[in-house]
Structure 1
Amino acid sequence: MKWMLPAACLLCCALLSPAFAADEAPAALSFKVKSLDGKEVDLSQFKGKVLLVVNVASRCGLTPHYEGLQALYEESKDDGLVVLGFPCNQFGKQEPGTSADIATFCSDNYSVTFPMFEKIDVNGENAAPFYQHLTSLKTPPKGDGKVAWNFEKFVIDRNGEVIARFEPRTKPSDPLLLKTLAAALAEKAGE
């Protein structure tokens, strides 16, 4: 009889622990960030989605990537793709505006409807914790290390795993990026 209570406790722990683990946010989605309108956003809300995370700027030679990013979002949002835009002024001071300026620019020039967040640093000692995590991972094809410029792209799968990282000049229409997104979208969460 003495063994029944410990055995029952072990059985309960074994049965319940997978449920707890399933509710926990993966490392890449365990961060909170602020939207352009200043509201806190818990990235764990995107668990089960495929994310394309991009540091963006309004006055960059790559700014036209907004058009392709919006097209990707419109085309695949119903399949689970979410583009997340993080304005950054670290590269050539190409994102000097306020959150309101950025929102107006994106809406007026590119009809952006995907989630946009407050301006952050992506490199250095003041880098946002989310970007500190992203840049610490050895993710193909680029690998780990500092963000090189505006419009560097990270792909996070439905399970919250960072599965790819693309150089800034990689266009949203790039065949390898599209293939990576299509494969991630084809997977179900938990696979």
Structure 2
Amino acid sequence: MTDDTNLYDIPLRTLDGAEAGLGDYRGKTLLLVNVASKCGLTPQYEGLQRLQETYGERGFTVLGFPCNQFGGQEPGSPEEIRTFCSTTYGVDFPLFEKIDVNGPDRHPLYARLTATADASGEAGDIQWNFEKFLIGPDGSVAGRFRPRTEPEAAEIVSAIEARLPAAD
């Protein structure tokens, strides 16, 4: 990677506009996902929420990053996004402000993440909504999973389980 900034130090904003960062989740295993409300893959919210419910008490959390770059499939306001996610899919994991994940206005977090290769060795641009990045408790990128890989696919679940923080 060309930038040696720690992922924990990249500033973020919550969906409500509050300052945040991955540093708020230091020591946890994270699954970062660019999400959209009007996509054929939107039902993946169900699997993401089940992962949150299954592993949330064990030092894991899903983090959602709404993005409107793929077919205009996330046009909503922050309130519309929050309402849709909570009422339609029962989402209670953190959601962040709408960002660009590709192109000249790519968020610095995704500038770092897209340098990570997937299982077939391909790095680069996000392909579509619901691309997933697993971050280990030490802040390192531990895996990249393309959009059509379901959240509860064996390769994601095993990667999460292998990186859950040690119980106290």
TM range (shorter): over 0.9
State whether residues 101 and 110 of structure 2, in contact with CA within 8 Å, keep that contact through their aligned partners in structure 1.
Answer: yes
Does 2:145 align with 1:166? yes
Aligned-pair identity in percent equals 50
Identify the match of residue 70 of structure 1 among 29, 49, 59: 49
SS of equivalent residue, structure 1 residue 136: coil
Does 2:88 align with 1:115? no
C-alpha distance in 1 between matches for 2:120 and 2:54: 24
1:141 positional shift: 4.8
Q: Please list every run of 5 or more consecutive structure 1 residues that lacks an aligned counterpart in the other structure.
A: 1-25
Number of the residue aligned with 2:76 = 97
C-alpha distance in 1 between matches for 2:91 and 2:113: 24
C-alpha distance in 2 between matches for 1:176 and 1:162: 15
C-alpha distance in 2 between matches for 1:147 and 1:53: 12
Give the greater-gyration-radius structure (CA): 1
Amino acid at match of 1:103: R
C-alpha distance in 2 between matches for 1:141 and 1:99: 35
Q: How does 1:19-58 map to 2 (within 5 A)?
A: 27-58=6-37
Task: Summarize deviations over 1:57-99 as a string: whole Å, max 9, x none.
Answer: 0000000000110010011011011100000000000000111
Task: Summarize deviations over 1:12-46 as a string: whole Å, max 9, x none.
Answer: xxxxxxxxxxxxxx722221111111101022121
Where has structure 1 moved over 4 Å in runs of 4 or more?
none
Q: How does 1:171-186 map to 2 (within 5 A)?
A: 171-185=150-164
Amino acid at match of 1:163: A
1:139 positional shift: 4.9
Point out the structure with the larger helix share: 1
Change (3 A) 1:44 1:139: farther
Provide the TM-score with structure 2 as the length reference.
Answer: 0.92
C-alpha distance in 2 between matches for 1:172 and 1:52: 9
Q: Please list every run of 5 or more consecutive structure 2 residues that lacks an aligned counterpart in the other structure.
A: none
Provide the TM-score with structure 1 as the length reference.
Answer: 0.82
C-alpha distance in 1 between matches for 2:89 and 2:117: 32
Identify the match of residue 86 of structure 1 among 54, 65, 68: 65
State whether residues 54 and 151 of structure 1, in contact with CA within 8 Å, keep that contact through their aligned partners in structure 2.
Answer: yes
C-alpha distance in 2 between matches for 1:131 and 1:34: 14
SS of equivalent residue, structure 1 residue 53: strand
State whether residues 142 and 165 of structure 1, in contact with CA within 8 Å, keep that contact through their aligned partners in structure 2.
Answer: no
C-alpha distance in 1 between matches for 2:114 and 2:143: 11
Alignment RMSD (CA, Å):
1.5
- Larger RCO (alpha carbons 8 Å, 6+ apart): 2
C-alpha distance in 1 between matches for 2:6 and 2:117: 15
Number of the residue aligned with 1:8 = none
Amino acid at match of 1:92: G
